[in-house]
Structure 1
Amino acid sequence: MTTMTGTTQATRVIPGHAKPLWRRMLLTRESAIIGLLVLVVAVASVTVRGFGQPITLNYLLLDIAPILLIALPMTLIMVTGEIDLSVGSMVGLSSVVTGVAVQAGIPFEAAAVIALLVGVVGGAFNGFLVTVVGLPSLAVTIGTLALFRGLAVGLLGTTAVTDFPETWTALAKARIAGTTIPYIMVPFLILLVVFVILLHFTPFGRGIYAIGLSKDAARFSGVDVERTKFILFMLAGLVAAFAGIFYTLRFGSARGDNATGLELQVIAAVVLGGVSVFGGRGALHGVVAAAVLIGVISSALRLANITSDVINIVTGVLLVLSVVAASVLNRLQQSRRRPGRPPRVTASTAT
């Protein structure tokens, strides 16, 4: 006869789920950005004259629409640990392609399709150099930033195309009936839903996070790392081209220097929204909140007669602070974890 005097059962607790659900949902960088956005809006509405007017919301959304659009694929790219600095130049190139095509007598709808194809080809070119040739995305997209901008300026020079169908230019600035929200928010919301599902609720999205945490581990887990990155760069080119078409219609002008520097605002929104510059971490709701926050601050400062140089300085400071804050928080979390800490153990006795 054998008697069992006691057994022990070890229960491992995943660190990310050891805290209550409400803490995991509220005590995050994304929640902090949303709270900061609410605070800034409240303060600006009280202190800045004219900020609370409905027309301000309309112009705010029109201004940040390209940033919101491009930030969606940029978030996925940066979660993998890569970056695309050419998106601003692609906005300019797609704008010029649309203008040149319309100037040549091609219907606007066909010109827009051509511009979207140019965006896909440009994104595929970036993806090919990164995934097939094996070059760093930072170096590749710095080069294509100059390449796409050079093509845009070379096609039009210092001239501008302004002859676009009034129906389309009016639609780009029109508001949804009964509201101050521009129609551009409709395609943005559709794309937002698509990218949220893609990143947070599909195996493809889990592969994106896995790549950001460890490319080798992701590859051994069955994730096609190269194909995933290639698709993301193509999506970035496509969405940037769409943003370029909107940019052209909103201002009624196709120029080679359209959207110069836009890529920095997009990256600022993505990093400020909680996406790690090293990959493996981030969520789209934080990025959207950060993009709106940057737009609110810029709008409030403009209404307060602050120059654009100061606005750029404020945006840069926010970007630096977000990177520093993320680094400090990571170190604090690591210091609080005891090395070699044994798993939580629960004892049970059977006789």
Structure 2
Amino acid sequence: MSLTRALSQSLLDNLTINIIVLNHQLQVNYINPSAEVMLATSHQRCLNLPINEIITEQSKDITLEEALKKGHPCTKLDAHLILHDNQSIMADYVITPIQADSQTYYLIEISTLEALKISRDKVTHTQLEGNKMLLRGLAHEIKNPLGGIRGAAQLLERELTDNTFKEYTRIFIEEADRISNLVDQMLGTNKLPQLEITNIHEILERVYQLIAAESQGRIKLIKDYDPSIPELRIDAQQMIQALLNISRNALQAVTETRVDVPCIRFKTRIIRQLTIGTTRHKMVLSIEIIDNGPGIPDAIKDTLFYPLVSGRSEGTGLGLSITQNIITQHKGVIECHSQPGETTFSLFLPFKE
């Protein structure tokens, strides 16, 4: 291999954009490591396969394959691509015909809409931080008079001899404590995670057992674990709380509505080369909690992780806000995808590099 060709190969291998090279018969000649991650397959498995066996496009206008057959340069934005394992992604792609060795090749550059997602996540993060600052200010204004009310009730209780009136002061004290605790929950935990090497499946087993006990056999629980996942540094108690909040929401979703076979699936996988915020991680733990309930109402999808947002009349709307805070403190991210019949909460936690 010449120096120029070796350099070209090295450049393609190290690009973070997804690259697929096809021959004139639209068969795969090369995919770079980034595309291997996107397709969840290897270069060797794809070699010489027709492009439509590894990736197709759902479109009312010209599709990826049709564009390739025309043999002209093509750029398409917001394309709906279907991968070989039936996973779908939204992406932009560019097709560039290339002449080499008297042959025509096609270079396909695929950019998943991750950059847009990062930008959207930044805006969401800024909004949430603004809300937290507002809540902290409100908390200060609420808890100060609460402390005065509680203290006055305690002093009054000491002066009273009639137990009937003491019962009223106890109510003042208990309600002041309840409101104070509610304010603390709204703010989320400020306690830094106590990180220890932990097996994530031990955490999930604990959550699984609690949900199994609470559901009393009314639902089907499925474990879909990748046993090869290594241990990682997390706060076990905080992670149990985070996963339990999501799982209890799923339990309520499938038991409070008509579902033929109510089901919750706990799934773990390894994701490679994933960007969280602005940092690209080589290896990330993916935890998914999937239920087959009615889905999340459209009205609250965009504000799902805000404090006091709930789809149930009796819900406090604090569980997911607390969960997001815990995952954020672990340098991770939480996402939700929901439609009627399936809601998936995905937690992504980076391994220390």
Quickly name the TM-score band, shorter chain normalised: under 0.3
Of structures 1 and 2, the one scoring higher in RCO (CA 8 A, sep 6+) is: 1
- TM-score normalised by L of structure 2: 0.21
Q: Which structure has the larger Rg?
A: 2
